[in-house]
Amino acid sequence: MEAQSADAAAPGSESPPDSSTTVEQFRFTGSGGEYFRIWIVNLLLSVVTLGIYSAWAKVRRMRYFYGNTHLAGDVFEYHGQPRQILKGRLIAFGMFLVYFIVSAISELAGVLLALIFFFFVPWLAVKALTFRARMSSYRNIRFTFEQDHHGAAKVFIGFAMLVGITLGLFYPYFAYARYRFAINNSSYGKARLNLFAGPGVFYWIYFRAALLYIAAIAIGLAVFRLWSGFGIDVLGDPKKFSSMLPRLVIVFLPLLLFVGAFLNKCLQNATLGNVTIHRHRLLSGMQTGRLFWLYLSNTALIVATLGIFIPWAHVRMAQYRFERLALEARGSLDEFIAGESQASAATGEEISDMFDVDLGL
Amino acid sequence: MTGLRGQYFDGRSSLRHPVELQIGMDGRLRVTGLAEVREYRLSETEVSERIGQTPRTLRFPDGSACQVLDNDAIDAALEALDTTSVQHDVHRLESQWSYAVVALLALVAIVWAGIQYGIPAAARHVAAIFPPRADALIGTQALELLDHGYLSPSKLPPERQQQLREKFAAITRDLDDAHQYRLEFRQGGELGANAFALPSGIVVMTDELVGLAQADEELEVVLAHEIGHVVHRHSLRMLLQNSATSLLMIGLTGDVSSASVLVASVPTALVQAKHSRQFEAEADDYAYAWMDRNGISHRYFGEMLSRLEKKYGGAEAGALSWLSSHPRTAERIRN
């Protein structure tokens, strides 16, 4: 790690140190209407081709979001190739099918398969993060990811097992280690990214989120009891439960979305907001209230429009995320140097897409 | 010659060079504004696809690239040289609201037809690939789980059990489909008057159901209905259809994460309930065909269903009927 951070500083030493600090604001310029048309046409083509075209659709969607993300006058670019992504999707689809059938036939075999998959996660995480980094560029300089399989095994197997052994008390450290792994192995060109927040920040976040969660459940139960006259015991009575379901959703969904907004805001600010690259650093200033409102209104509108609102929801989220993200630049952004290029298979990212492996970043 | 303004990046550093780009009719590209003028052939230049209003990237063989905002000018130049791609037609579809509306309507129609006919037909064909012996592999522990949680040993006299087993054997005698048919009796407890079939061919009937029947024919038609589930391999097909439905929903909503799971789970549940009702109707068909073959009046099935509905309340009418696993009783009774 030490040698690499020295390497990252190398480009700066070529020009005289520049202490002038400017704040470059990220900007997302996509529009919901434009994205809706792209989304619906590509969705139709994907369905008509029985999913084959979905790889091309994904590339177009990614290119739309990258190409509308501005920083200091230039946009990001996505380089994923549809054929590569299709190959990954076919493998992921095959694995998904095997897992689904096996676990339906025998729960024991399903658990065994999931266990095998668990030991496969570090490799998958490295592949997915490498793919994502390699397929992203800014100013024609690609991002790269160090293939640290040893570090991945430590985090995704060792630390993940410690979470189980400590009954979850270790989880904040695990979350911290995951972000650290994903960020500190990433480079923009030759410049290494560095997360400078420590594990304490994550313990503080999860402690407050847990308290908030308990408070939300208590408030929810009280409101639900006032409204319907029932307590928690409706969960055990299928008949009462199904007739009370709408009220349960109306009471608990906003409360849980609020807890989710708080947690995600904290995590985003603690990770992206504490990253340095070269002599620059990122600034993230998300707010719980705004994020909660986005979650709530997006969910309500997606349900009310039977899903048609999905593209607008994606665009609104991206707008807000980048509105609250900035780069504090010490000196020029013109000095980044490209790293060596290497190919990366898309399989990792596509499989993790389907199995929803939470990689954090 | 068309003059285009762009940002040139040499691929080695993040330094931006404002340049002017000229695309000649000879298929050559001139980049001016750098220390020296650079020339590339359009045929060896990779031009990114047009997507919305995002800038285009022209990637040159030496690893350098140029970003251009003026999409129309690029497209005009490419068109003049007759080098547009298939993906450009996709952009044309994406740029008009009328196409988007047509796409939405087509998508709704296709998804509806797929759920109604496509997935069930595909599942039937795929199920046919598996030998009937494979059915026994599905839910091998199901009866043990039920015995553990809900059911208790039958209190029905052995003579009565034997009597009904003989009737069951008569219904399954002519079936030659490798299923191991067997009738089991249990006390239903919470499940009440009920009968269900396991994919292997075991049919379980509760004491409460036997008690509720006023004629043995009523029990026979219920058994025929359950055997219909086994003969038509509903467990395997349900498994296949549910996987296909889940995949379809994942595909439609784009990802399997966060809030979209919640949004996708409702239609998934609706589709699965719909498929379940289709299977119930198919098992009813089987039962009615059996009654016709054996000269048993349809009214036995109707009376049994009515009595069950009176005792437990039938499948819900109105909005909740969409979520119900069984069709409405009134629809199931045929003359």
Evaluate whether residue A308 is within a structural domain: yes
Are residues A225 and A293 located together in one domain of the fold?
yes
Closest chain A residue by Cα to residue B6 = A74
Interface of B with A in 20-59 (CB under 8 A): 48-49, 51-55, 57
Same domain, A286 and A215: yes
pLDDT of residue B256: 43
| Minimal CA separation from B103 to chain A, in Å | 6
d(CA A325, CA A285): 7
Structure tokens at A58: 């994904």
A273, A201: one domain = yes
Per-residue pLDDT, A295: 92
Q: Is residue A61 part of a domain?
A: no
**Whether residue B309 has pLDDT greater than 50:** yes
- Per-residue pLDDT at B317 exceeds 70: no
- pLDDT value of position A341: 56
Clarify whether residues A347 and A295 are in a common domain: no
A160 and A259 within one domain: no
Q: Does a structural domain hold residue A70?
A: no
B253 in Cβ contact with B299 (< 8 Å): no
pLDDT digits (tens, 9 = 90+) for B78-134: 887 776 677 778 888 898 999 999 999 999 999 889 888 999 999 999 888 888 777
Domain count, chain A: 2
Shared-domain flag, residues A240 and A319: yes
Same structural domain, A159 and A215: no
Task: Measure the CA–CA gap between B292 and A198, rounded to whole angstroms.
Answer: 76
Determine the structural domain holding residue A265 and report its residue range: 1-7+24-33+191-335
> Does the pLDDT value for residue A69 go beyond 90?
yes
* Contact residues, chain A, for B255 at CB < 8 Å: 353
The nearest alpha carbon in chain B to A296 belongs to: B259
The answer as to whether A212 is a domain residue is yes
Interface touch B67/A74, C-beta < 8 Å = yes
Single-letter amino acid, residue B261: V
The ipTM value here is 0.80
Question: Considering Cα of B61, then B65, then B66, then B71, what sign does the dihedral take?
Answer: positive
Residue A240 shares a structural domain with residue A318: yes
Is the backbone of residue B200 left (phi > 0), alpha (psi -120 to 50) or beta? alpha
Gap between the Cα atoms of A114 and A99, Å rounded: 8
The CATH architecture that domain B2-94 belongs to is Roll (2.30)
User: Using CA atoms, how far apart are residues A179 and A269, in angstroms rounded to an integer?
Assistant: 12
Whether A252 and A151 share a structural domain: no
pLDDT (tens digit per residue) in B168-201? 998 888 887 778 888 999 998 877 888 888 888 8
Q: Model-level pTM?
A: 0.81
- pLDDT confidence of B15, banded at 50, 70, 90? very high
What would the pLDDT profile of B193-227 be if each residue is shown by its tens digit? Answer: 888 888 888 899 999 989 988 988 999 999 999 99
Task: Pick the range with the lowest mean pLDDT from A3-12, A189-198, B218-227.
Answer: A3-12
Domain boundary assignment for chain B: 2-94, 115-332
**Mean pLDDT of all residues in chain B?**
84
> Which chain B positions have a beta carbon within 8 Å of A104's beta carbon?
138, 239
Residue B260 confidence class, pLDDT cut points 50, 70, 90: low
- Has residue A13 been placed in a domain? no
Per-residue pLDDT band for A110 (boundaries 50, 70, 90) equals: confident
Which residue on chain B is closest to A70 by alpha carbon? B54
Q: What is the mean pLDDT of chain A?
A: 85
Whole-number percent of chain A with pLDDT over 90: 51
Tell me the pLDDT band of A3, cut-offs 50, 70 and 90: very low
In a domain, A100, yes or no: yes
The tens digit of pLDDT for each residue in A245-295 reads 788 888 998 999 999 999 999 999 999 999 999 889 999 999 999 999 999
Q: Which of B13, B51, B104 sits opposite A337 (nearest CB)?
A: B13
